[in-house]
Amino acid sequence: MSFALDEDLTLLKDTADGFFSERAPVSAFRAMRDAGATFDEGLAGEIAALGLTAALLPEAAGGSGMGFRAVGLALEAEGRTLAVSPLLQTGMIGAGALKLFGTPDQQAHYGAGLADGSIRFALAIDEGPRHDPRRCETVLVNGAVTGTKMFVQDGGSATHLLVAARDAGADVLAVVPADASGVSRTARTTVDHRDCADVIFDVAVAEAILPLGDDGLEGLLDVARAGVAAQMLGVMGGAFDMTNDYLKTRTQFGQLIGSFQGLQHRAAAMLVEMELTRSCVIAALLALDSGKDAREAVSIAKARAGDTLQLVTNETIQFHGGIGMTDAHDSGFYIKRARVLEALYGNAAFHRDRYARLNGY
């Protein structure tokens, strides 16, 4: 598979870039934050109407049969403007779970809801503050889920929760309607001001069960991780472009600060890291599309995206100086979102450890 974009992907990228920059710029996120909101139903509906949330599913199920690489382009566009959107949890993870583990009936049932925006998913996986998929005390018994999931992204606005659970020792993904009896959700206020909730399941009846087999949970998590990495590319791109613009407008000592070599070299070094990381993220998405073992490629992408994004968002504040420390400036939005994405589904250290184990050391 080629790294270059073909005609279809170029069109998708242009559409997504245009949509998010016009309809959901960073100023829109700021307005939401200021209003105390964490979800915009109108925006979510428009994204569904664009076909992005169901894109991974086959046409027969209301989708367009696109690949992970394609959705990754939309996620990057969304990350760039820090848009609050259901693309990661619903378009990548939810539709990805259905694509990989759903029956044609399940795909058709949920696909229709994804396409018209009436269904939004949220992955409920971790049971503590650090990502640890081996830790799972949530069980499925007689078709009902019992357990506690923490830090569920989009957990407050989702219509359906995708719950990782143990069913007599086997991994399953249980689809539980958020309004089912036995589901209670408690919102958290996180540093990035996104929708995040803890969810308690007390004999909550699942609407559908997706068996994951031996490696399925990791396979699903790798879809999630690659999606996060694609979003991180957008976040770093947005922060970097804002910073590079500042280098070309801010004057000190009678000079544009971008003419100082001390800053030029640091900016150029960031670009080198971003280019290298971009190749890794694309490779991870292509590996998922190939259907072959994508574990190593995904861990490289998530680890490098984490390190690069940390570098870029820290430098974004430093390059802006005092203004970058103010709430009125967007630097803070980028670094806050960056750290949540870094912690989500395994930080860089987690993925370096995983890579080393996969390679026998």
**Is residue 287 part of the contact set for another protein (CB under 8 A)?**
no
Work out whether 5 is an interface residue with another protein (CB under 8 A). yes
283 scored as a contact of another protein (CB under 8 A): yes
Binding letters toward another protein, positions 298-337, x by CB under 8 A: --x--xx--x------------------------------
Tell me if 94 sits within 8 A of 113, measured CB to CB. no
Pick between residue 166 and residue 266 the one whose CB is nearest to another protein: 266
361 counts as binding another protein under rule CB under 8 A: yes
User: Dihedral angle at the C-alpha atoms of 156, 180, 88, 342, nearest 10 degrees?
Assistant: 60
- 344 near another protein, rule: CB under 8 A: no
50: helix, coil or strand? Answer: coil
Query: Does 276 interact with another protein (rule: CB under 8 A)?
Result: yes
In the complex, least distance from residue 141 CB atom to another protein, rounded to whole angstroms: 34
Residue from 142, 189, 249, 359 touching another protein (CB under 8 A): that is: 359
Strands (E) across 119-239 are located at: 121-124, 139-141, 144-153, 160-167, 170-177, 183-188, 196-205, 208-211
Nearer to another protein, 54 or 288 (CB): 288
Residue 194 CA from chain centroid, whole number: 12
| Number of residues in contact with another protein under rule CB under 8 A | 41
Q: Is 42 in the site for another protein (CB under 8 A)?
A: no
The residue range among 31-39, 46-54, 147-155, 296-304 that interacts with another protein, by the rule CB under 8 A, is 296-304
Cβ neighbour number for residue 261 with a 10 Å cutoff: 8
Contact 147, 140 (CB under 8 A): no
Q: 184 or 259: whose CB is closer to another protein?
A: 259
User: What residues have CB less than 8 Å from 317, skipping those under 6 apart?
Assistant: 324, 325, 331, 332, 335
**How near is the Cβ of 248 to another protein at its closest, in Å?**
7
- Kindly tell me the burial class for residue 278, based on how many C-beta atoms sit within 10 Å of its own C-beta (0-12, 13-18, 19 or more): buried
Residue 280 makes contact with another protein by CB under 8 A: yes
- Bridge partners, residue 251, by sequence: 256
Single out the segment in contact with another protein by CB under 8 A; choices: 22-30, 146-154, 251-259, 325-333. 251-259
The type of residue at 309 is: L
Alpha-carbon Rg for the chain in angstroms: 20
Which spans of this chain sit near another protein (rule: CB under 8 A)? 2-5, 244, 247-248, 255-256, 258-261, 264-265, 267-269, 271-272, 275-280, 282-283, 300, 303-304, 307, 349, 352-353, 355-357, 359-361
